[in-house]
Structure 1
């Protein structure tokens, strides 16, 4: 059997309107490449990148979903297994930002309750065409208590930071959960011993 080359596997998902740059962000992070002629994702696609964090090798399986409504049924089936979801909008496109509420609703409807969310304002290099201010996006992120970053796949601004930050949040949560399980597990052992002793006495 092949030896496992990683300690943990995190499934991440990129969602948002068509054309906001989800595929470009994924390629910039996984291959450090940018292509001006990306075609729209059909259905769903994914890439894998292994990163090191806190002495652990984490395999990131990043799913890139199509933004078009006609692929809705296919893409929403991938929400359930995701541990982290990135909601991407385009800072030069008002509509893509307004649709964030629709994407958040999709997450509530289809994803796990404890999924980690992050809001990304992509194409921040196109300052002269900007329609969404950083402050406005920060307010929305605060309202929904989610992390927010502005990114540019083209000039490689905050791309790695975004993925690493999301992975770090998931790792932190897992560590807290396992610590909690260990603490309750120890107590459970104590209870087991005490009941078995009392049975012996009887």
Structure 2
């Protein structure tokens, strides 16, 4: 499993991944840790941000467009449209804050059900900040149990130490590729992007003098 820089066009499949969850659970840190292998203390996301990552999983070169959404209530309507067409959704909570865990079923799972347009969409539950084990208030067993209840894959990770960070996205991508409809959509997205590029690059036919 390798990863490569941005700006490539030689990939096999293109998938859209969405990160959701309460503010300050570490969604942006998780994304930056995955994209650049560097983690800083980040300000809360305002509205929506996205980043692109190319990586090879299961013998396929993938382009992942990963959308990082704001957890604050006032941005909720702004982000609803970004659920559209998502192939994978990662629900993030902070293992040191129980409210961020209970809000997954009380708020985020309901929102996902309301806005997600892709019924085959793969979901993953991710407990972040396991590097702060002494402050943990949500056990791994509780995470596993909620994952089963919500029909999600489950992983714990640390954006700060990068433990399981790449695995979160790689495992989700592998599972997406196991769903025929999502696999077809990933191919279609790529074909459409290439078609648009070709149309944009085709010079207009000039007039002819008689």
The interval holding the TM-score normalised by the smaller chain is: 0.7 to 0.9
1:67 aligns with 2:38: no
Once the 2 structures are TM-superposed, how far is the Cα of residue 175 of structure 1 from its aligned partner? 7.6
Once the 2 structures are TM-superposed, how far is the Cα of residue 145 of structure 1 from its aligned partner? 2.3
Mind listing any 5+ residue stretches in structure 2 that lack a counterpart? 1-6, 185-210
Once the 2 structures are TM-superposed, how far is the Cα of residue 148 of structure 1 from its aligned partner? 0.6
Give the 5 Å matches for 1:1-202: 4-36=9-41, 38-101=42-105, 102-111=107-116, 112-174=118-180
Q: Deviations over 1:87-129 (max 9, x none)?
A: 0000000100010011111111101211100000000110111
Normalising by structure 1, report the TM-score: 0.83
Mind listing any 5+ residue stretches in structure 1 that lack a counterpart? 179-202
Give the Cα separation in 2 of the matches to 1:175 and 1:108.
19
For structure 1, which segment, 19-28 or 48-57, has the greater mean C-alpha deviation from structure 2 after superposition? 48-57
The structure with the largest alpha-carbon Rg is 1
RMSD of the TM alignment (CA)? 1.7
Any idea what SS the aligned residue of 1:119 has? strand
Give the Cα separation in 1 of the matches to 2:63 and 2:103.
30
Residues 91 and 176 (structure 1), Cα distance of their counterparts in 2 relative to 1, 3 Å cut: closer
Any idea what SS the aligned residue of 1:18 has? coil
Once the 2 structures are TM-superposed, how far is the Cα of residue 141 of structure 1 from its aligned partner? 0.8
Once the 2 structures are TM-superposed, how far is the Cα of residue 44 of structure 1 from its aligned partner? 0.3
Normalising by structure 2, report the TM-score: 0.80
Give the Cα separation in 2 of the matches to 1:11 and 1:130.
31
Aligned residues: 176
Residues 105 and 176 (structure 1), Cα distance of their counterparts in 2 relative to 1, 3 Å cut: closer
